[in-house]
Amino acid sequence: MEYINKPRILCALVIFLAIFVLISCEQPERQDTNEAPEERVPHPTLGPTVAPAPETEDGEDAPPRLAVGIVVDQMAYDFLDRFRDKYGEDGFKRLAGDGFIFRNARFNYVPTTTCPGHASIYTGTTPSVHGIIGNDWFVRVPENDETYCARDLTAGLVGGGAGEDEKSGQLSPRNLLTASVTDELRLATGKNSKVIGVALKDRAAIMPAGHLGNAAYWLDDESGVWVTSTYYYRDMQMPGGAKPELPAWVTDFNEKYSAEKYLNMPGIDGVWNTLGDVSTYSESLPDDNVYEKSIRGRDEETGEYRKPVFPYVLKDVLEENKEETKGQYGRLIKVTPFGNSITKDFALAAVRGEGLGKDGVTDFLAVSFSSTDIIGHYYGPRSVEVEDAYLRIDLDIADLLNALDSEVGEDNYLVFLTADHGVGDSPLFLGDMGIPSGYFMEDDRVLAGLNGHLGKVFGRGGSKFALAYSNQQAYLDRDLITSKLRLSLENVEKEAASYLMTLDGVADVVTASELDSADFTTGARQLVGNGYNRKRSGDVIVIMEPSWIEYKERFGKKGTTHGAPYDYDTHVPLIFYGRNIKKGESMRPVFITDIAPTVSALLKIPYPNGATGNPLSELFNRQD
What separation, in Å, do the N-terminal and C-terminal C-alpha atoms of the chain show?
63
Please tell me the distance from the alpha carbon of residue 538 to that of residue 407, in angstroms, as a whole number.
Answer: 48
Please tell me the distance from the alpha carbon of residue 537 to that of residue 128, in angstroms, as a whole number.
Answer: 9
Please tell me the distance from the alpha carbon of residue 377 to that of residue 371, in angstroms, as a whole number.
Answer: 10
Please tell me the distance from the alpha carbon of residue 420 to that of residue 366, in angstroms, as a whole number.
Answer: 13
Name the nearest CA neighbour of 497 among 526, 481, 469, 474: 474
Please tell me the distance from the alpha carbon of residue 86 to that of residue 280, in angstroms, as a whole number.
Answer: 10
Is 56 annotated as catalytic?
no
Q: Are 288 and 308 contacting, i.e. CB atoms less than 8 angstroms apart?
A: yes
Q: How far is the CA of 66 from the CAs of 39, 101, 146, 354, 428, in angstroms?
A: 26, 20, 38, 12, 45
* Neighbouring residues of 586: CB distance < 8 A, sequence distance ≥ 6: 100, 101, 102, 103, 104, 618
Q: What sign has the CA pseudo-torsion 271, 277, 281, 285?
A: positive
Based on its alpha-carbon atoms, the radius of gyration of the chain, rounded to whole angstroms, reads 29
Kindly report the backbone phi and psi dihedral angles of residue 364, in degrees, each rounded to the nearest multiple of 5, phi listed first: -140, 125
Kindly report the backbone phi and psi dihedral angles of residue 281, in degrees, each rounded to the nearest multiple of 5, phi listed first: -85, 65
Name the nearest CA neighbour of 513 among 489, 482, 542, 485: 489
**Which entry of 45, 114, 325, 343 is annotated as an active-site residue?**
114
What are the respective helix, strand and coil percentages of the chain, to the nearest 5?
40, 15, 45
Do the strands 215-219 and 590-591 form a parallel or antiparallel pair, or are they unpaired? unpaired
Q: What sign has the CA pseudo-torsion 370, 547, 587, 532?
A: positive
Please tell me the distance from the alpha carbon of residue 576 to that of residue 11, in angstroms, as a whole number.
Answer: 68
User: What does 259-298 look like in DSSP terms, one character per residue?
Assistant: HHHHHTSTTTTTEE--SS-GGG-TTS--SS-TT---TT-B
Please tell me the distance from the alpha carbon of residue 220 to that of residue 168, in angstroms, as a whole number.
Answer: 9
Query: Is residue 548 helix, strand or coil?
Result: strand
Q: Are 350 and 196 contacting, i.e. CB atoms less than 8 angstroms apart?
A: yes
Residues classed as catalytic: 114
